[in-house]
Chains A and B, each alone.
Chain A
Amino acid sequence: NAGVTQTPKFQVLKTGQSMTLQCAQDMNHNSMYWYRQDPGMGLRLIYYSASEGTTDKGEVPNGYNVSRLNKREFSLRLESAAPSQTSVYFCASSIRVSNQPQHFGDGTRLSIL
């Protein structure tokens, strides 16, 4: 009964380093999302994938790339990390896009020094 699983849970990077955040869901959902959450700013959509094989930009895509590896997995990559990307990153999934409820993982806490 895992739902949405994110790895790693915590990560510290130096400016300029790269890394990939992993996300997998076992609910057979078509759509997946990556958000960042910063204090006082709520959730901001980085990228989403409406269905396997498609990805689209959200509100704050600069500095990130994504890959929808298959129906279950959706990864987020930071090619050259910057301190402004220090945040908590959440992956979510839903049956489909639009107003469907989203199911979230427990987040990756990322600090960039």
Chain B
Amino acid sequence: TQLLEQSPQFLSIQEGENLTVYCNSSSVFSSLQWYRQEPGEGPVLLVTVVTGGEVKKLKRLTFQFGDARKDSSLHITAAQPGDTGLYLCAGAGDSNYQLIWGAGTKLIIKP
């Protein structure tokens, strides 16, 4: 059974600080997606990483896929209150019909 573990589960920091959240597995994934979910809404796709070692930037967010395609990280520079939300990672694994979801990191950015 493929699993994705996200850490930390909860993070509360001040506006302007930097942070990194992680998505780890012992299994190899063909690709990995990151989503953000705001309260009362469904998850919204941020980025998909496909190649081992790949780095993608989305404004102040930097996503990296591990060289072995078993892990990924999301780094936020100069966090803003608008970055508050639940960050979910989802991997495409052995099965070709469903994504494997992490439990998420709940991020709160205080003004």
List residues of chain A with CB under 8 Å of any chain B CB. 4, 33, 40-45, 48, 50, 56, 58-59, 90, 92, 97-99, 101-107
Contacts and interface: CB of A to CB of B under 8 A. Distances in A.
Contact of A48 (B44, B98, B101): B98
A97 to B, nearest CB: 5
28 contacts: A33-B98, A40-B103, A42-B88, A42-B101, A42-B103, A43-B43, A43-B88, A43-B90, A48-B98, A56-B97, A58-B98, A92-B42, A97-B96, A98-B92, A98-B96, A98-B97, A99-B30, A99-B31, A99-B33, A99-B99, A101-B33, A101-B48, A102-B45, A104-B44, A105-B42, A106-B40, A107-B40, A107-B41
Given A48-B97, A99-B92, A41 B103 contact: yes
Contacts of A107: 40-42
A41 B5 CA distance: 11
Given A42-B88, A107-B42, A102 B104 contact: no
A83 to B, nearest CB: 22
Given A98-B96, A106-B40, A42 B45 contact: no
A42 B103 CA distance: 4
A88 to B, nearest CB: 9
B12 interface: no
A97 B33 contact: no
Contacts of A97: 96-98
Interface of B: 9, 30-31, 33, 40-45, 48, 88, 90, 92, 96-99, 101-104
Given A4-B42, A99-B31, A104-B42, A42 B97 contact: no
A101 B9 CA distance: 23
Contacts of B43: 43, 90, 102, 104
Contacts of B40: 106-107
Contacts of A99: 30-31, 33, 48, 92, 99
A92 B43 CA distance: 9
